[in-house]
Amino acid sequence: MITAPRLHPEALLSRHPEGVAMPCYNRAALRPSIVHLGLGAFARAHLALYTEDVLNADGGDWGILGVSLQRPDQRDRLAPQDGLYTAIERGPDGEQCRIVGCLLGVMVAPEERGALVARLANPRTRIVSLTVTEKGYCHDPATGRLRLDHPDISHDLTNLAAPRTAIGFLVAGLAARRAAGHAPFTVLCCDNLPHNGRLVAGLVGEFADALDPALSAWIGAEGAFPCTMVDRIVPALTDADLVAAERLSGFADAAPVGHESFRQWVIEDDFVGGLRPEWEKAGAQFASDVAPFEHMKLRLLNGSHSALAYLGYLAGYETIGDAVNDDAFAGYLQRFWDEVRPMVPPPPGQDLHAYTDALLARFRNPAIRHRTWQIAMDGSQKLPQRLLGTLRERLAQGLDSPALCLAVAAWARYVGGTDEAGSPIDVRDPMAAGLRAQLDAAGAEPAARIRALLGVEAVFGTDLPAEPRFATALTEAYAQLMAKGARAAAAP
């Protein structure tokens, strides 16, 4: 039962809870200068908080307009609060919270497609940022090419005034700006994808070229797609977050977000007209080359996160913290990192052993309950970037990779849809039905099941299935999982 007043600008005028940081700038001066596609918890705990810190330091008009590309849930929670929400920082020593004011509102794309295209076309929109997850780009993760046969991409190519996809909206907005004689906006990808800016530039270019090669050439010449590396652990919203927000702030908040203390954002400094917030004042790092930071994070953090998610889920652990506090999985992580570190050139000034030591401490943070099931989502899109690239490099050097193969095998067992207790797994993946069908048709024998999955070119490409050392090692790891269970397979 709600006993505290609902978080709202009018409520803030009469109530200032002690110890709660509030916006200290003029919200009325904000304009929707940043449009963020895919407004989930991560964007509100990362991009928005960096922007909030800049506004608190210097003021300005860099407001954020969020966009939900599929459902109205986020809008429905935030609209009654005029975009305000509580950010809860959780560390081993406790919690602290702040009220965030830089979010001006949320649009729901399926309900207002034309209005969203118009907003993107408005020259006041300077940056369009994205966190739409790997599957939101409608591309082949093995090749990085746009899937022109994707039904939503096909729709957008013939219905550009009312797109469905992030790529369709980007091109529709850019096309309208070109027609009106306006400069393009900067496209700022904040998803965990290798060379994310270059990837999105390529996808946008392919889509635009299918419409009008002159449009594609204009975007390539005038647009900007900086690469970025983002890092912060942000679990999905739970009922406990609602309770914590009211306890800490004194306001009832339908849309709080919890996050760890650590954050990192490395950005290539390439923006149309140089227009961007001074995020460096909030601790962001601007670099001429983001790739080393991105590579380190994808391989060491995201790769180990996925490995631990599949193995931990199969072993019955609900959260990453639960799994990593089991010595069997903590030891497995060290062996995993021992395989990955030699394949990762360290970014300038970065000690990779210190980095993985810090990762272990972050994973063990008892205040962050990051569900293994949540991280396990969309594995078919994540594996090529997070795990398979490292495997390819080790194979090329003639190196064995038992820990990496066990992670891929755990994914293979997970997408089979049944856990070690025989209970069904709610597999959330754009390829879930096809993967399950392949496995069911293969029967129970490990070698046949692995052969079936290796035939999925969109995940494994054509090179890995042709490599007998990989097929043999993956089959052996899968057989171990089936015979011994995830915990025993992970133990030395």
Residue 2 has pLDDT above 60, yes or no: no
Instruction: Identify the CATH class of 291-490.
Output: mainly alpha
To the nearest whole percent, how much of the chain has pLDDT over 70? 100
Confidence (pLDDT) at 19: 84
* Topology at the third CATH level for domain 9-287: Rossmann fold (3.40.50)
CB 129 within 8 A of CB 37: yes
Confidence (pLDDT) at 349: 87
Residue 120 has pLDDT above 50, yes or no: yes
| Rounded distance between C-alpha atoms, residue 316 and residue 296, angstroms | 29
Query: For residue 82, what are its two tokens?
Result: 């005029």
| Rounded distance between C-alpha atoms, residue 380 and residue 391, angstroms | 16
Rounded mean pLDDT, 158-166: 97
Residue 111 has pLDDT above 50, yes or no: yes
Question: What's the pLDDT tens digit per position in 310-333?
Answer: 999 999 999 999 999 999 999 999
Beta strands in 243-328 (DSSP E): 257-260, 264-268, 285-287
Question: What's the pLDDT tens digit per position in 226-236?
Answer: 999 999 999 99
| Rounded distance between C-alpha atoms, residue 482 and residue 413, angstroms | 8
Specify the higher pLDDT residue, 10 or 15: 10
Query: Domain segments of the chain: what residues?
Result: 9-287, 291-490
Rounded mean pLDDT, 127-152: 94
Residue 38 has pLDDT above 70, yes or no: yes
Confidence (pLDDT) at 16: 77
**Sign of the CA dihedral with 100 first, then 128, 431, and 142 last:** negative
Confidence (pLDDT) at 92: 85
Residue 61 has pLDDT above 60, yes or no: yes
**What backbone phi and psi angles, to 5 degrees, belong to 39?**
-80, 85
| Rounded distance between C-alpha atoms, residue 152 and residue 426, angstroms | 24
Residue 1 has pLDDT above 50, yes or no: no
Does the fold of domain 291-490 match that of domain 9-287?
no
CB 310 within 8 A of CB 407: yes
Question: For all residues of the chain together, what is the average pLDDT?
Answer: 96
3-state secondary structure of 196: helix
Closest of 272, 271, 263 to residue 229, by C-alpha:
263
Question: What's the pLDDT tens digit per position in 333-373?
Answer: 999 999 999 999 999 889 999 999 999 999 999 899 999 99
Rounded mean pLDDT, 412-425: 94
3-state secondary structure of 97: strand
Q: 15 pLDDT band (50/70/90 cuts)?
A: confident
Closest of 270, 261, 455, 260 to residue 370, by C-alpha:
260
Query: For residue 343, what are its two tokens?
Result: 């394949």
Residue 264 has pLDDT above 80, yes or no: yes
Question: What's the pLDDT tens digit per position in 202-228?
Answer: 999 999 999 999 999 999 999 999 999
Using DSSP bridges, classify how beta strands 94-100 and 85-91 pair: parallel, antiparallel or unpaired: antiparallel
| Rounded distance between C-alpha atoms, residue 473 and residue 406, angstroms | 9
Which residue type, as a one-letter code, is found at position 284? Answer: A
Question: What's the pLDDT tens digit per position in 178-194?
Answer: 999 999 999 999 999 98
Question: In which order are the strands placed within the sheet that holds 94-100?
Answer: 94-100, 85-91, 257-260
Confidence (pLDDT) at 319: 96
